[in-house]
Amino acid sequence: MVKKKTRSTNPKPASIRGIAKLTGFSSTTVSLVLNGRAGDYNISDETRDAILAKARELNYQPNIHARNLSSGRSDILGLMVPTLHNRFFGELAETFEALARAEGKLALIHVTRYERAEEDNAIRFFLSQNAECIVVANPMAPEKIAELCEGRDTQQIFIDATAEGLRTVSTDNYAAAFELTRAIIASMARAGHQGSLVFFGGTPDHQVTQLRLKGFRAALDEAGLPFADTQVIWSAFEPEKCYAAVRDYLRANAGVAGMFVNSIIAMEGITRYFPDDPETFRTLHYGVFDISPNLSLLTDLNIIGVRQDSQRIMEAAFDLYKSGQPTEGGTVILVPHEMVYGRAFASQRPGDPVASGAGRD
């Protein structure tokens, strides 16, 4: 016996043509009302209200792609971040989505995992969607991204990046790293701990890591402390890789007294290794970039940190987008950071904060 096919009970989605048929107005009139252009064409309030009421009744959802084709513009904004595992980037994404929604825009977020090829894929995807603006956070290759967007109407705004001629919003990574390293050195001196101070986390081809490393080296030089390439522990920003890198380094190198931790993800690698060698970790002095509130629970560790203002950074980036100003000549906005001191140092903080750009060559 052949079974008869049953029709789907799911109703077809409401369309402009369907709303026009049910209300008695033309498809053109319905389209203008649903696209917020009733006032431009002197459509009466009574007609507008009747169409909107029917659209709500039918749960009408606009076809974004069709609307983009007809209007020649997009309500899509793109955000590219390297990871959401890092609290800083998660907060950026939350703020971005809220700001986009408040403007009636659709936020698309792409995670690249610090991979250059994935950055290219993200940009090409956003361009294929005719995004109005792409906000790029902490990219590996900002110049390449700008090249991909060349000749397009899509705005580009870079966060946590430095590139000539581009619009950027960032913490002053050099100055913040310089100040953080100073604080670690002061912490070690107060405790009478002598030994090497190492830089942990990041890869040689990561632009922001290089800026922070430069600030780290400048602070060592100011204090008359030596620096060698062996004081850098390279590691991709992945918890397991950070764990393995710090474990192998500390097993092979005695005499480490302090550590500049170049990401909360790198700090996660340290906390994973902590049970293996708790005594060593209790004596070290840590300076953590992008500190997490959870670290305040580690009351027996010597932790100082830099907190970036993710909300102000994204708000400044969004203001640049809304201004629509051209990218020629570039724009650089530096958002102040905050130093965060652990309980052990609450009454023993170093002197005044380092001004932005301090210690530069």
Number of independent structural domains in the chain:
3
How many CB atoms are closer than 10 A to CB 35?
14
Distance CA 102, CA 312 (A): 16
Q: Dihedral (C-alpha) 265, 269, 275, 281: value to the nearest 10 degrees?
A: -90
* Residue 156: inside a domain: yes
* Claim to verify: residue 201 and residue 341 sit in the same structural domain: yes
Q: Are 120 and 148 contacting, i.e. CB atoms less than 8 angstroms apart?
A: yes
* Residue 285: inside a domain: yes
How many CB atoms are closer than 10 A to CB 109?
18
- Phi then psi for residue 156, to 5 deg, are -130, 130
* Claim to verify: residue 41 and residue 151 sit in the same structural domain: no
Q: In terms of Cα–Cα distance, which of 253, 206, 217 is closest to 83? A: 206
- Name the residue range of residue 281's domain: 173-309+337-345
Stated as kind and residue range, the H or E segment containing 257 is strand 256-261
- Phi then psi for residue 170, to 5 deg, are -160, 160
Under DSSP, is residue 4 helix (H, G, I), strand (E, B) or coil?
A: coil
Assigned token pair, 123: 């940009």
Kindly give the interhelix angle for 87-102 and 310-323, rounded to the nearest 10 degrees.
40
Bridge partners, 158 (sequence order): 136, 168
* Residue 1: inside a domain: no
236-269 per-residue burial string, b: 16 or more CB within 10 A, e: under 16: bbbbebbbebbbebbeeeeebbbbbbbbbbbbbb
* Claim to verify: residue 86 and residue 57 sit in the same structural domain: no
Q: Are 233 and 198 contacting, i.e. CB atoms less than 8 angstroms apart?
A: yes
Q: Are 122 and 142 contacting, i.e. CB atoms less than 8 angstroms apart?
A: no
* Claim to verify: residue 79 and residue 165 sit in the same structural domain: yes
pLDDT digits (tens, 9 = 90+) for 69-128: 555 567 899 999 999 999 999 999 999 999 999 998 999 999 999 999 999 999 999 999
CATH number for 223: 3.40.50.2300
Assigned token pair, 261: 């931790």
Q: Are strands 302-307 and 338-341 parallel, antiparallel or unpaired?
A: antiparallel
* Claim to verify: residue 32 and residue 99 sit in the same structural domain: no
Assigned token pair, 336: 């102040």
pLDDT digits (tens, 9 = 90+) for 301-325: 889 999 999 999 999 999 999 998 6
Q: pLDDT 10s per residue in the chain (361 long)?
A: 555 555 545 566 788 889 999 999 998 899 889 878 888 888 999 999 999 999 999 988 876 666 555 555 678 999 999 999 999 999 999 999 999 999 989 999 999 999 999 999 999 999 999 999 999 999 998 989 989 998 888 999 999 988 788 999 999 999 999 999 999 999 999 999 999 999 999 999 999 999 999 999 999 999 999 999 999 999 999 999 999 999 999 999 999 999 999 999 999 999 999 888 888 888 999 999 988 777 766 666 889 999 999 999 999 999 999 998 665 678 999 999 999 986 544 434 444 443 344 444 4
